[in-house]
């Protein structure tokens, strides 16, 4: 689940890029484990950050338009660029 540009721009400016872990909730649903990537977006020539949440749960359907709430608990590693798959 990707956050909108407006949400990403409202994140603290001093938060480091990288991979984080925590909890996520879609709408009024259950709380699930998640990992979160905060990083520079090559699509925008690396001048904008993107925030992508990977919820560790299988949903029965898409949840576009729902409110996504997250709690970041910890930091895993810095952002990395990969040369291949």
If you ran DSSP here, which 8-state letter would residue 8 be given? H
Question: H or E element: which one contains 40?
Answer: strand 31-40
Report d(CA 13, CA 16) in Å as an integer.
8
pLDDT (tens digit, 9 = 90+) per residue, 3-24?
888 888 888 888 899 999 999 9
Q: Most confidently modeled of 16-25, 37-46, 72-81?
A: 16-25
**Sorting pLDDT into bands at 50, 70 and 90, what band is 85?**
low
The residues annotated with a catalytic role in the active site are 52
**What pLDDT is stored for residue 1 in this prediction?**
85
Q: What is the mean pLDDT of residues 34-43?
A: 85
**Is CATH 3.40.50.2300 the classification given to domain 5-78?**
no
pTM of the predicted model as reported, rounded to 2 decimal places: 0.83
């Amino acid at each position: 689940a990707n956050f909108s540009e407006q949400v990403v721009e409202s994140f603290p400016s001093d938060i480091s890029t990288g991979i984080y872990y925590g909890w996520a909730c879609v709408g009024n649903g259950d709380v699930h484990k998640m990992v979160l990537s905060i990083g520079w977006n090559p699509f925008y020539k690396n001048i904008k950050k993107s925030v992508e949440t990977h919820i560790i749960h299988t949903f029965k359907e898409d949840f576009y338009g729902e409110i996504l709430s997250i709690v970041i608990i910890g930091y895993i590693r810095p952002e990395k660029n990969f040369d291949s798959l």
